Amino acid sequence: MSFINYSSREINCKIVYYGPGLCGKTTNLQYIYAKTNPEAKGKMISLETETERTLFFDFLPLSLGEIRGFKTRFHLYTVPGQVFYDASRKLILKGVDGVVFVADSQAERMDANLESLENLRTNLKEQGYELDNLPYVVQYNKRDLPNAVDLDYLKRYLNPTNVPDYEGVATTGVGVFDTLKAVAKQVLIELKRGR
Amino acid sequence: MNSPMVLYEAEFKQITLVCDTLHRDASAKAVFLVDKNGQLLANSGDTADLDTTSLASLTAGNIAATGGLAQLLGEKEFAIQFHEGEKDNIHISLVGQRVILVVIFDERSSLGLVRLRVRKACLDLAGLFEVIHQKASEQGSTVFSEITDDDIDNLFGDG
């Protein structure tokens, strides 16, 4: 749920990065954090385990500039990807304005991708949302790995509704900002429509 | 279902006034009002050295996790949380199921005083947020209804 503050002339929106464990959700945020001007970003928070796996969420506040005198701020969140953290994932989806599904392109992670995508749909429904009605972008991450499967195959199974999608290598930043811009743009267009 | 929360100047001033009053009456260091999705709505007091955006996000995460725990135990919610530190303490309470009131205080105040003052502030805020939500649903449109596709393109135009 976006928040418009007429007093401070700000608009705040929430974007959630979803996907299976180790697909690169946190790496997306880390790259964005590393490449953004200090004045446009806040502190990045990672609530992680001792082995640097996301335990609850990562959080990164970003300013994207002004529209009609209103500062646009996006709050980026990741969910913990590991299957057993489902209760936490549900909480983080509350009030979401846009979703990025980060898929792992490796052949052996295809089942995990499909399971996570199904889990996303289920958890959104529990919060009263339909994925098909939300601003939504897919990123096929880890395209640089030798065991990455064909793009057509990924598209067929992970993006049947043909939403905007991007190839990514989050470690080097390929596709990271394209993905972010695409989902942020969709969120603003939805706001304009007044939902 | 997912319509934006809109805070206009007049209501913003009113909720800030409630935060200011609570800050003074509870002898608190700082007072924050956060929505359940982690957006900071208002603050009062000594906030210059605090990362208010992170504080808002973590508070909302905390309330969400505690709410999840409550449901597992068959409770509706745990409306109040208190975290005690060596110097500073945090008192967190839910206002009308919608917003979160956070009070940071040190040895100049006490948990009893904070609880007492928070109770009054919660009543005031609950009434104000009734009005805010009603107004938002009645107005229907926001400044964003008037923006153009070009406005949005321009925001992303410079790569």
Among B19, B143, B153, B154, the residue to mutate for chain A (most A Cβ within 10 A): B143
Q: Which fold has domain B9-157?
A: Beta-Lactamase (3.30.450)
pLDDT for B15 equals: 96
Mean pLDDT of B67-78: 92
Please give the Cα distance from B19 to A49 (Å, whole number): 35
Closest Cα partner for B120 from B13, B21, B14, B43?
B21
pLDDT for B152 equals: 81
Mean pLDDT of B35-43: 91
CA atoms within 13 A on the CB side of A73: 21
Q: What are the boundaries of each domain within chain B?
A: 9-157
Q: Answer yes or no: do A1 and B3 touch at CB < 8 A.
A: yes
Helix (H) or strand (E) holding A120: helix A110-126
Which is higher by pLDDT, A195 or B139? B139
Which is higher by pLDDT, A162 or B143? A162
| Min Cα–Cα distance to chain A from B147, Å | 6
Q: In this predicted complex, what is the ipTM?
A: 0.84
**Tens-digit pLDDT profile for chain A (195 aa)?**
788 888 889 999 999 999 999 999 999 999 999 999 999 999 999 999 988 899 999 999 999 999 888 999 999 999 999 998 999 999 999 999 999 999 999 999 999 999 999 999 999 999 999 999 999 999 999 999 999 999 999 999 999 999 999 999 999 999 999 999 999 999 999 988 875
Mean pLDDT of B86-109: 95
Q: Answer yes or no: do A128 and B1 touch at CB < 8 A.
A: yes
pLDDT for A150 equals: 97
Q: Answer yes or no: do B144 and A11 touch at CB < 8 A.
A: yes
Q: Which fold has domain A3-193?
A: Rossmann fold (3.40.50)
DSSP A4-23: EETTTTEEEEEEEEE-STTS
pLDDT for B159 equals: 40
Please give the Cα distance from A88 to A109 (Å, whole number): 22
In this prediction, what percent of chain B has a pLDDT beyond 70?
94
Q: Is A87 on the interface with B (CB under 8 A)?
A: yes
- The chain A residue lying nearest B154, using CA atoms, is A67
